[in-house]
Amino acid sequence: MAVDDSKTEKYATSITDSPTNQVGDVESGESAKLHQSLKGRHMQMIAIGGSIGAGLFVGSGGALSKGGPGSLVIDFIIIGFMLLLTVNAMGELAAIYPVAGAFYNYSIRFIDPAWGFAMGWNYAMNWLIVLPFELTVAGVTIAFWTDPDGTGTPSINVAVWITIFLVLVVVINFFGVKGYGEVEFVLGLMKVLAVAGFIILGVIIDVGGVPTDTRGYIGAKYWHDPGAFRNGFKGFCSVFVTASFAFGGTELVGLAAAECANPRKTIPTATKQVFWRISLFYVVSLFILGLIVPADNENLSKASGGNTRYSPFVLSFQLAGIKVLPSIFNAVITLSVISVANSCTFASTRTVQALCARGMGPAIGARVDSKGRPWVVLIVALAFGALAYVNVAPQGDEIFTWLLSLSGLSNFFTWGSICFAHIQFRKAWAMNGRTTDELPFQAMFGTIGSWIGLALNILCLIAQFYVSLFPIGGKPDAKAFFENYLAAPIVILFFVGYKVYYKQWTIGVNLDDIQIDEGRRELDFEALKQELIEERAAIAAMPWWKRQMEFWF
């Protein structure tokens, strides 16, 4: 996409004069060079399988142990419902404003420039820190084969695998957004098939259909003994954290919109897929998991990070006496973690590049090469991957725990901001005399859904505060609290720091000043309006069942 030099010069002047320039201006700067190479199949697979990884396959084990199968399913339903509302709000914004750094840009434009600045760097830090974590997890998953007895001394040092996986991520990113899209498509499809296969096999195990399983018919036995809920209300609250980590990355569809060939068509379809991912690949699989793996199994309490030998999914096959599937599923987990590491690089580089292009970071970070790769930021992001080697050091675990605490609450802040930005956008849209019929895509649940999503995000932050202050089986401890809740004061620091630096003491934006059509990719609004009218008329003429299919799919 060609760049108009006069516009670039004008943009550079605008960000120097004012840090609160509109979202639309970004398209005239360096971010306009990002290639729009993602196709519909890429977007749909990013939506369906983009964030399925260690959070689901391994982290759910610790959550099952702490909260029991009842808490596991209920909490994932709550977070899943919250994400469904959030992604719909994001889909509406991304379809009309497919701009680089989508989330923080929406916060800047519709909430407050300082809050958008805080959200942008909060989101970037989250993925920059999660990258070395995922590389470590990918390396440790190999210990399933190199250290089968769990002695802690694998035959090949984990640093070797970290190096191999880091090089692999570098190679993938060499091919730019096209490489990211193709890798996510292949690995996403693999994850979807793996989870679907687990659900089918899980049902067979539960009804006693596996000859090697000495337990026979299980049914709902484990929901009664050891019970559906464990550790009371604290156990229930603790599962929210695991659920948020497992769902992290769901919002990547919105971030990818700027590099999508036809966001008006593909964003709505990809957004609708989230419902099926939540209901089928998370809720149903975890419900089946709670039926066939007892919550008091001692190995579940060890299920964290890359300890895949304690993955509840792997454990379910071992308990059923199935010999080959544990290794096969561990391979799936390893590839899933690589997929998430790939997403980490994509998310962090695009966010930081957009921040720099807007004048909220070093100007050099806005540079994009001829193939659409933000190469300066990419080098920095991949350098962060080297932090994975910290885990090999004697005190590495503690150091890395503090690094991860910087991103512990990132998802809740990001999702809540998306919901509130959508509410503000709808207000500004109406104030400009526009109707929802003029929107390329309407959130399925409107602003009511966004209000509910915002409230649920706030409640999750409160629940995490409660568990951090009063941990399960322990007493209030300052170190434990900040290990879990450090991200909150960091966000506040970014927010206040921006206000002080730019001497902006007002809170919020004036919706009257927003130029509602800036940042849109369409140029002929009347032609777009007529096209939307024709599309909706065609849908209205469909039979009832077909309209429902169109609504949900």
Distance between CA atoms of residues 446 and 442, nearest Å: 7
Looking at residue 423, what is its pLDDT? 96
CATH superfamily of 22-522: Amino acid/polyamine transporter I (1.20.1740.10)
Looking at residue 494, what is its pLDDT? 92
**Annotated domain spans of the chain:** 22-522
Contact between residue 113 and residue 498 where contact means Cβ atoms under 8 Å apart: yes
Looking at residue 263, what is its pLDDT? 65
- Residue of 327, 294, 289 lying closest to 143 (CA atoms): 327
Q: How far apart are the first and last CA of the chain?
A: 31
Distance between CA atoms of residues 266 and 144, nearest Å: 39
Both tokens of 65, joined, read 């142990």
* Amino acid, res. 385: G
Contact between residue 351 and residue 104 where contact means Cβ atoms under 8 Å apart: yes
Both tokens of 411, joined, read 């998802």
Which portions of the chain are predicted below pLDDT 70?
1-51, 100-101, 148-152, 176-177, 253-264, 303-309, 394-400, 403-404, 407-408, 521-525, 550-553
* Amino acid, res. 447: T
Phi and psi (nearest 5°) for 509? -115, 155
User: Measured between alpha carbons, how far is residue 125 from residues 35, 118, 261, 408 in Å?
Assistant: 24, 10, 28, 11
Q: Residue 411 is inside which H or E element, if any?
A: helix 410-431
Radius of gyration of the chain (CA): 23
Contact between residue 349 and residue 378 where contact means Cβ atoms under 8 Å apart: yes
Looking at residue 306, what is its pLDDT? 53
Q: What residues have CB less than 8 Å from 525, skipping those under 6 apart?
A: 517
% of the chain at pLDDT higher than 70: 79
Q: Is 38 helix (H, G, I), strand (E, B) or coil?
A: strand
DSSP string for 140-197: HHTHHHHSTT--S--SS-HHHHHHHHHHHHHHHHHTHHHHHHHHHHHHHHHHHHHHHH
Looking at residue 525, what is its pLDDT? 67
Contact between residue 122 and residue 356 where contact means Cβ atoms under 8 Å apart: no
